Amino acid sequence: MTFYKFPENFWWGSAASGPQTEGRIDGDGKGDNIWDYWYQQAPEKFFNQVGPAKTSDVYQQFKTDIQLMKQTGHNSFRTSIQWSRLFPEGTGAVNQTAVDFYNAYIDELIANDIEPFMNLYHFDMPMALQEQGGWLNRKTVDAYVNYAQTCFELFGDRVKKWFTHNEPIVPVEGGYLYQFHYPNEINLQHAVQVGYHETLASAKAIEAYHALNQGGQIGIVLNLTPSYPRDAKNPADVKAAKIADAFFNRSFLDPAVKGEFPSDLVALLKENQLLPDYQVGDLETVKANTVDLLGINYYQPRRVKAKETPIDHTHGIMPDDFFDNYEMPGKKINPYRGWEIYEKGIYDILTNVRENYGNIDCFISENGMGVEGEERYRNADGQIDDDYRIDFVKDHLKYVHQAIQEGSHCLGYHMWTCMDNWSWTNAYKNRYGFISVDLDNDCQRTIKKSGHWFKQVADKDGFED
């Protein structure tokens, strides 16, 4: 048996988001975001037709939830402020009811020795701004910076860990390439512009935060999906993997940490007349306002091979024109989510950040597995015995431990998620949490076996295996 010891003051906890947990009640003053609107238009796209109004009711149950966080070993917790809750129209007047809620939520976390990590954007564009183009519109950048600065001024006396975006590549992929987020476009030119505006908004928010001198840190949370070539000795496969990495990882990682866009991606976009519209001074703003802290979400690797399938020109140029995804034989897979489980990927990411990104302070901001039908693992006492989740976390933490031993500045591990929550069009199809939520019984919470195990890990700053 080996004891895997982690540093003192390691951040143990979990991550969630406002739109996936808070829910809506009469009188809360929240405006519609793109998810509220999309559900109103097409409820059949959502699993069991469960929409964002019926999430896990954190808005009313957060005090109970924070006690459960304590019982599951949390010393830190990341969630997000909902832009459309604070500013129902995206701009204009602040919703004081939202201010009161977030103040109470933050104060309750701190009173229970759980540090709040607060993210500003988690896929939830206010609908009033989406109607004007959303991230396609340069004015949205200004609206976002105003929203961010308002959050810093309202809550920055207590919140000392801020994040500008969670997984900014996802609105690009989902909304403008692969049709799993609203507005369901397939348009690489729009995708590039959206990604550029997200990056610019992040840099400008960082600039605004540092100008306030509130004594905290501001970063970004990126889902880094390492791209592995089918054959590392085949130059065509290696080149394809590098292009995939440029599109889906370095497109945000490089400007966030290095202050510049990857030269190979810029060259490819320029060659294909896909460069975004930008203004004088933008690149200097990005260069001057890099992150203090990097959140790393890791779920799965990307396996890549040289392009072999015919190129589909239906929607113009697509990232997939430059590589094919490779279905590696014998891979371990989570059958419910369809994602490969490759624990060493988390080590490879941390090593890459250490070797190529200045060993910036970072933490695992999400990692986890979704399982459908977890109620079948409920024991006679009502607890879900999710040993598979314990094994999943343990096997990833071993590689995190190895990376730290080799010098990585990895400061924590947050699992996705604290309690089962609503997951976009999948709603509650797959459950991820340390704590189960019974939707049919007033969202009653019950700690799973993994939650009790995680408390032991946090108390000991490590585990034996």
343 tagged catalytic: no
Residue 194 and residue 285: Cα distance in Å, rounded? 17
DSSP 212-281: HT-S-EEEEEEE---EEES-TT-HHHHHHHHHHHIIIIIHHHHHHHTSS--HHHHHHHHHTT-PPP--TT
d(CA 366, CA 450): 16
Q: Tell me, what's the pLDDT at 54?
A: 84
> Tens of pLDDT along 225-257?
999 999 999 999 999 999 999 999 999 999 999
**Residue of 337, 451, 295, 314 lying closest to 385 (CA atoms):** 451
H-assigned helices in 320-359 = 344-356
State which amino acid sits at residue 206: I
What are the pLDDT digits (tens) for 250-259? 999 999 999 9
Structural domains for the chain? 3-464 (3.20.20.80)
Q: Could you list the mean pLDDT of each consecutive 10-residue stretch along the chain, which spans 465 residues?
A: 97 98 97 98 96 94 98 98 98 98 98 98 98 98 98 98 98 98 97 98 98 98 98 98 98 98 98 97 98 98 98 95 97 94 98 98 98 95 96 98 98 98 96 95 95 98 97
260, 366, 372, 374: the catalytic one is: 366
Q: What is the pTM of this model?
A: 0.98
Nearest to 199 by CA among 111, 125, 268, 138: 138
